[in-house]
Amino acid sequence: MTRIVIAGAGRMGQAIAAGLDQQDDLELVGTWQRGDDLSPLVLAADVVIDFSLPDGTTQVLEAVAEHNTPLVCGVSGLDEAQMARLDEVATRVPVVYDRNMSLGVAVLEHSVREAAKSLGGDFAIHIAEVHHVHKQDAPSGTALKLGEAAAGGRGEAGTGSVTFESERRGEVPGDHEVVMRSPTESLTFAHSVTTRQVFADGAIRAARWVSGKAPGRYAMSDVLFRN
């Protein structure tokens, strides 16, 4: 039985807890929120799943480093210093970090990279995303992730020549569309989320996968495509 601690008591933490209730091989041993003592929980865990906030992630990184506990982190908005610390911690413990824990997005990222590599620079790449009105960042982290995959597939740095379009309306959990277009044809990849439970399900799969792995920084693409 793999013992899980959740960092973050918000909607995502609740969704992960609900998902863990359905697993025979995973056990929730505690949920942490800022202001509580984190160290005893991490000490009792085989894996920590972090969906807190960036300042909470700072505390989580120190605790998992202290106790050599594997980490799954889906917190977006980490600054350069926090990402650098995450990379440092990953030299000691296995860390799955991803801006989107959806299994479908991991497959989409893989497909977009391969398609961009095969099609080359003759195809313009445009990414459109729609999210709920409460989302502050634009383009979304997932859109940037897909843009990096497309650009990387054809040897460009960052998001390269990929263009973006963002829309905020209603309570849309997240829709992404990647269009690769030449003067003679177009290829479209699309992914749509109907419930935020999809991110919880991905985090649970990542927690099962990361237990026992060697130290290193991993992504959801590793969870799906790496033994």
Active site residues: 131, 135
Burial level of 50, CB count in 10 A (0-12/13-18/19+)?
Answer: buried
Contact 210, 177 (CB under 8 A): no
Q: At 38, which amino acid appears?
A: L
DSSP secondary structure, the chain, as one string: -EEEEEE--SHHHHHHHHHHTT-SSEEEEEEE-BTB--HHHHHT-SEEEE-S-HHHHHHHHHHHHHHT--EEE------HHHHHHHHHHTTTSEEEE-S---HHHHHHHHHHHHHHHHHGGGSEEEEEEEE-TT---SS-HHHHHHHHHHHHHTT-STTTT-EEEEEE-TT---EEEEEEE-SS-EEEEEEE-S-THHHHHHHHHHHHHHTTPPSEEE-HHHHHH--
